[in-house]
Amino acid sequence: MKGLPPALITAIVLVAGFAACAMQFPNIASTRVVGNLLTDNAFLGIVATGMAFVIISGGIDLSVGSVIGFTTVFVALAIERWGVPPLVAFVAILVLSAAFGAAMGAVIHIFDLPPFIVTLAGMFLARGASFLLSTESVPITAPVYSTVSDFALRMPGGGRLTAIAIIMLVIVIGGALLLHLTRFGANVYALGGSRTTASLMGVAVGKMTIKIYMLSSLLAGIAGIVFSFYTSAGYSLSAVGVELDSIAAVVIGGTLLTGGQGSVIGTFLGVLIQGLIQTYINFDGTLSSWWTKIATGVLLFAFIALQQGLVALARRPVRKSAGATT
């Protein structure tokens, strides 16, 4: 019901795309490649889950890429330069990023500002702050990093399900449950339908807005930690443009950009589609990696056109009956 048909289309596109790639490069159809795909896109999957909540509620969060960048730098410096135990550093950065998101949500609600502008400011702020901390890449050598990097579940066929891929899957499943089974999730859809109506129906719109942006920033913080595991370094220029990749994943996953409809599962499929394109280009070897962006652009356009078609189709009978009475 809630955006499943568009998500279903995403699933079909993913399966068809995977089948087509596997026909050209039979090696793609292996747990090894799938495992790598999940690992390579773990941070994107996490941050896109948060983005799905924000967009379904009718907002947008442009700051997530910068929050990831800031997180990697903060964690690297805390562990390597300031001598903070890794776990303490993680908790500190998660608290910090959650507070950052809550502050953006509060500004959006209290001053009734467009989320686009507020989170754009947040984007510059977080990116600038990470440059302030360090402009160079800081390698992380703490033992916990090699332990986590080495950890993996063996899959049949030789594939490795890494720790960060598992974190991502847990967050995606948790996000889906939160969105579809809880009162919080229902309120996210309500906000996306209409803020004024939701508030008239008793939803605490202000609290919800704060919580939603808090969730998005918190997940961006987790994605940042995951990214630092992935690269074993902190760099202020990391994850530039990831906010756009995650918005693309959300939209390809069948979520309406205007809010009110969508799903976390669809978003996850959208992430996988982007990962698949990247994998195909790696296998091909001759194509420039920028073809990922071009293919993503084409897909985005196709999905937006498709959604507009679906929306128009859904509205038609309503418009008819309204027309008869005016």
Partner 1 sequence: MENSSDPASPLLEVRGISKSFGAVRALQEVDFTLRAGEIHALLGENGAGKSTLIKVVTGVFPRDAGIVRLGGEEVAPRSAKAALGAGIATVYQEVNLLPNLSVAQNLFLDRQPMRFGIVREGEMRRRAKALLADFGLDIDVAAPLGNYSVAIQHVTAIARAVDLSARVLILDEPTASLDRHEVEILFGIMRKLAGRGIGIVFVSHFLDQVYEISNRITVLRNGRLVGERETASLPRLELIRMMLGRELAETTSARASATEHKAREICASFEAYGKAGYVAPFDLELRHGEVVGLAGLLGSGRTETARLVFGAERADRGQARVEGAAVRLQSPRDGVRHGFGYCPEERKTDGIVAELSVRENIVLALQAKRGLHRPLSRREQDEIARRYVKMLDIRPSDPERPVGLLSGGNQQKVLLARWLATSPRLLVLDEPTRGIDVGAHAEIIRLIRELCDNGLSLLVISSELDEIVTYSDRVVVLRDRAHVEELAGGAIDVGNILAAIAADGAATAHEGRA
Q: How many helices (H) and strands (E) are present in the chain, helices listed first?
A: 14, 4
- How many Å apart are CA 207 and CA 186, to the nearest integer? 14
Question: What is the pattern of x (binds partner 1, CB under 8 A) and - over residues 301-320?
Answer: -------------x---x--
Restricting to residues 251-280, which ones interact with partner 1 according to CB under 8 A?
Answer: 260-261
Check: CB of residue 305 under 8 Å from CB of residue 90. Answer: no
* Minimum distance from residue 70 beta carbon to partner 1 (Å): 32
**Interface region with partner 1, contact rule CB under 8 A, candidates 41-49, 72-80, 196-204, 214-222:** 196-204
Q: How many residues bind partner 1 (CB under 8 A)?
A: 28
CA distance 153 to 227: 19
Stretch touching partner 1 by CB under 8 A, among 88-96, 191-199, 220-228, 297-305: 191-199
E-only strand ranges, the chain: 138-139, 152-154, 160-162, 233-234
Phi/psi of residue 219, each to 5°?
-65, -35
3-state secondary structure of 7: helix
Which of 8, 103, 173, 186 is in the footprint of partner 1 by CB under 8 A?
Answer: 186
**By CB under 8 A, is residue 115 in contact with partner 1?**
no
Burial class of residue 275 in the structure, from the number of CB atoms within 10 Å of its CB (0-12 exposed, 13-18 middle, 19+ buried) = buried
Report the C-alpha gap between 44 and 128 in whole angstroms: 21
199 in contact with partner 1 (CB under 8 A): yes
* Candidates 74-82, 178-186, 216-224, 299-307; binding stretch for partner 1 (CB under 8 A): 178-186
Please pick, from the candidates 80, 103, 193, 232, the single residue that binds partner 1 as defined by CB under 8 A.
193
Which tokens go with 98? 């959650």
Binding site for partner 1 (CB under 8 A): 1, 181-183, 185-187, 189-190, 192-194, 197-203, 260-261, 314, 318, 321-322, 324-326
